[in-house]
Amino acid sequence: MKLSVIPNRLVDIAFLLVLPCVNAQASLPALNGSSTCGAECQELVPLAIAYEHSAHAHYPLDDFYSIPSNFTPSMEPGTLLSVETHTNLTNYTVPSSLTMSRIMYTSMSLNGTIVPASAFVLWPYAPFEYNVGKTSKTASGKFPMVAWAHGTAGLFAACAPSNYRSLQYQFMTSYSLAIEGFAVVATDYAGLGVTTLPNGEQSHAYLAGAAGANDVAYAVEATRKAFPAQFEPEGPFVTMGHSQGGNVAWAFAERQAHTKVSGYLGTITISPPMRVIDELNAALQTIATTTIPIASLPLWVTTIIGLQPIIIAGITAVFPSYNYSGMSPIAYDRYQNVVKPLQGCLPTNSLAYADVTDFAIPGWTNDSIVQQWQDQYHVSGREFQGPLLIIAGSNDVISIDQLSSGINASCDASCDQSLEAYVYNDMEHFPVIQASRIKWMSWIKDKFTGNSKSDGSCGKMTTVQGFNTNYTIQSQAANWLVGWTNSSLGWEESL
């Protein structure tokens, strides 16, 4: 059965993203290789690519992302490869009080291979004052660290958040954290920013949380080596992530249970996917048995259905022999002959499939490789090191029922660890970040000052009722963008 499962509001979001690009090409030569990219695809994809290029700080990628000649696969993970101490922020929207560095370091893939990865460090004007150990002594001049794990950006090198003018999450997380005095260490993930295969191909293990957890862990270690005057050798840090990054952050807490990074104070995970194939199967079952119009189904159902091609690509990155075999013929053509040749990121990925109704072949989730991927790399239900703060919206793109099941399974595995969850009523995938800001920001500060108020229990879930939620503007994505202004056009900001 073929169903159109992209809600109109998601297409509207995509159009809003590309509206600034009035000079986009009418067509792209790269699209000529596709046998399925018709009039709508030919119209939308150039707009998306033009928008992406305008949102990149550097297009094409600048020399920072070139792998140094001193890199060898025999290096230890966490080895520092290169440091850009002072990133030129001319092309970024980073607030004027903040500064930025970029580093390249070694991480470890899921099969134990040493791979290069990149990260940015966003520096506060001055550090938030925190306590050292169990004493009240303030760590003078040292910076508290938040290790940030980003949400879905895409599968290719140019999709690295460190190459986005607004670092992808701008004031939603990164800018706000740095303004409050926290140094934000944000991995791009292996395969984004820096290519990982000898032939220059990407290999980004999308939604395999353990891979991203390694990238986060070794970014923390490499950053400490790069900036010993700013960070203590085993200084305190909190891990935090949203969406794909929520999956990674949860996986990091699980990693801490057996492979510890010193200084760990806890993890915040916002809107985390957990058992992705199980959630997808639940969505497919919902669609197969409902009489409700597709666009009226819960957002988690329609969203994960539309993500099938990128999930299949992520599985192939981990198990190359799978070779995208779950994609439908049209989805395979759009991926191989539209998205991949253009090295398109999430906006392009979204619009390239805007007119696609069958994303995958029936029954693809039953494949043994697909099941192996989920069994090995899901999050939840494993031992973890807390404290763990979980945040989601009641209208999120993850199922709250599945979230509850994942929490229960995790507490069964680690009943002695602290885990608390908050569900923000009526909030969607990105709005929940702002709705919960007062919670996660105070939680982080409490961890650094030793004023934690957690009761230490595992599995407590609280629903937060918002004020005037019937009058808020809700959408899966944020309803605003951070725009870049050339310094010579400062008059545009004199409103």
Percent of the chain with pLDDT over 90: 82
**Alpha carbon distance 279, 300 (integer Å):** 9
DSSP 263-313: TEEEEEEES---SHHHHHHHHHHHHHH--S-GGGS-HHHHHHHHTHHHHHH
Kindly tell me if the per-residue pLDDT of 13 is higher than 60: no
Q: What is the pLDDT of residues 299-312, one digit of tens each?
A: 999 999 999 999 99
Q: What are the extents of the domains in the chain? A: 8-55+276-375, 63-275+378-471
Kindly tell me if the per-residue pLDDT of 135 is higher than 80: no
**Alpha carbon distance 147, 246 (integer Å):** 12
Residues 6+ apart with CB under 8 A from 36: 330, 333, 334
Q: Which CATH superfamily is domain 63-275+378-471 in?
A: Alpha/Beta hydrolase fold, catalytic domain (3.40.50.1820)
Burial class (CB in 10 A: 0-12, 13-18, 19+), 133: exposed
Q: Please tell me the predicted confidence (pLDDT) of residue 201.
A: 65
Kindly tell me if the per-residue pLDDT of 26 is higher than 80: no
Kindly tell me if the per-residue pLDDT of 7 is higher than 70: no
**Alpha carbon distance 203, 182 (integer Å):** 31
What residue type is 429 in one-letter code?
A: H
Say what the pTM is: 0.93
Nearest to 312 by CA among 320, 324, 294, 300: 324
Tokens found for residue 347: 């906006």
Mutual angle of helices 276-289 and 368-377, in 10-degree steps: 120
